[in-house]
Each structure stands twice: as C-alpha cells, then as structure tokens.
Amino acid sequence: MSRAAKLTFGITSALTVGTITYVHFDQKWAQQALRQGPINDMERVKQHREDKQRRFDAMNDEEKAEFLRKEKVRKELLAEHDMQLQLKAQYEKVQPIGKS
C-alpha cells in the first residue's frame, strides 16, 4: 500500500470511530435528559405549590376571601367544562359528527 492510501485509510478509520463514539454518547446523554424531564417537572410543580401557599399565607383576610372566591369560580368552570365534554361524547354516540 502506498503512503497516501495508508494515510487516507487511517484518517477515515479515525473519523469513523470518532463519529460512532460521538453518536453513542450523544444517545446516552439524550436518554439521561429524557429521564430527568419528569423529575424536573415534579420539582417545578412542587415549587409552584409551595410558592402559591406562601403567597396565600402572606395575604390579609380580604385578599384570601377574594382568592378563595376566584378558586371556587375556577373549579366551577372546570366542572362545567368536564360536563360539556361528557355531553359532547354522549351526543356524538347518538349522532356522529362528520366532516363537511
């Protein structure tokens, strides 16, 4: 083999091994990041709840009453939304909605 052929073979072999190694570790890093997603989400939700509780504790009685009233309205709206979704599903069983 000529010197140029050996050099070309060596460079392409090194690049191939480097590429395969990089892809392997990149997949491992991506997999670890995917596993951390739900953990980070749980921590973020926990922090949000704690912040919300601290803000509630810092409110005076009038602010607490207003906050509780808004929460009650929000829960009523969510309940109504759920009821509307159930009714929609029930009505679609009776009369399916087709594409126009």
The per-residue pLDDT for range 30-44, each reduced to its tens digit, is: 998 888 888 889 999
- Residue 41 amino acid letter: D
How far is Cα 85 from Cα 89, in angstroms, rounded to an integer?
6
| Residues 3, 50 within the same domain | yes
| Residues 51, 6 within the same domain | yes
Q: Which residue range(s) make up the domain with 71? A: 61-92
How far is Cα 24 from Cα 9, in angstroms, rounded to an integer?
22
Q: Read off the tokens for 85.
A: 């979704």
| Residues 28, 47 within the same domain | yes
Residue 84 lies in a domain: yes
Count of domains for the chain: 2
How far is Cα 13 from Cα 19, in angstroms, rounded to an integer?
10
| Residues 1, 40 within the same domain | yes
Residue 100 lies in a domain: no
Cut 0.75: pTM above it: no
| Residues 10, 36 within the same domain | yes
Residues of the chain with pLDDT under 50: none
Query: Which ranges of the chain does DSSP label H, i.e. alpha helix?
Result: 3-58, 61-94
